[in-house]
């Protein structure tokens, strides 16, 4: 009757080191990381949730990070994801202008507005931008999927 040796392949030593690789901790760590990334990935989408109008316009080329002014469905105003009131908007825009005073080019502003808003509400915010001296304003829209632009009557 043949007797099998220890798992290490050495004969004669009772406490020989095990040469097998235990992958269970590696798999555990990888599964935990997978779950963490699956939970946090949707949270990494930045911005205020705004239903943007669709257009066939091309995207803008830009060098510096723009300031994003958003107006949501309820009319709340956000500057770079921080909600501000209509009365605080001029002060916040003045801060943006003073922060970019030494730069040769005016700061770029992206204006995002929900399609459910009335035109006057958007124009009031654009008027405040103009009054603060921020004239490089781009209106943000989403790209039309099939090339057709909806008229908003659906």
Percent of the chain with pLDDT over 70: 77
Strands 142-143, 137-139: pairing kind: unpaired
Residue 147 predicted with pLDDT over 70: no
What sign for the dihedral angle of Cα 55, 59, 126, 82?
positive
* Domain ranges, ordered by start, for the chain: 54-143
Q: Residues 111, 138: contact at Cβ < 8 Å?
A: yes
* Local structure of residue 77 (DSSP, 8 states): E
Percent of the chain with pLDDT over 90: 15
Q: Selecting from 3.30.420.270, 3.40.50.1450, 3.40.50.2030, 3.40.50.800, what CATH number does the domain 54-143 have?
A: 3.30.420.270
Six-digit token string for 11: 């004969």
Give residue-wise pLDDT tens across range 1-36: 555 555 555 555 677 777 788 889 999 999 999 999
């Amino acid at each position: 009757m043949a007797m099998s040796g220890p798992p290490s392949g050495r004969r004669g030593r009772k406490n020989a080191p095990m040469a097998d690789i235990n992958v269970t901790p590696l798999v555990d760590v990888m599964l935990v990381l997978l779950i963490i990334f699956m939970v946090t990935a949707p949270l990494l989408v930045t911005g205020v949730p705004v239903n943007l109008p669709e257009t066939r316009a091309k995207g803008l080329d830009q060098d510096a990070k723009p300031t994003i002014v958003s107006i949501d469905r309820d009319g709340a105003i956000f500057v770079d994801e921080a909600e501000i009131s209509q009365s605080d908007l001029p002060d916040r825009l003045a801060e943006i202008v003073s922060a970019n005073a030494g730069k040769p080019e005016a700061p770029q502003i992206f204006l995002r507005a929900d399609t459910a808003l009335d035109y006057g509400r958007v124009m009031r915010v654009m008027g405040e931008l103009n009054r603060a001296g921020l004239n490089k304003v781009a209106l943000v829209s989403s790209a039309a999927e099939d090339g057709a632009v909806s008229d908003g009557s659906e």
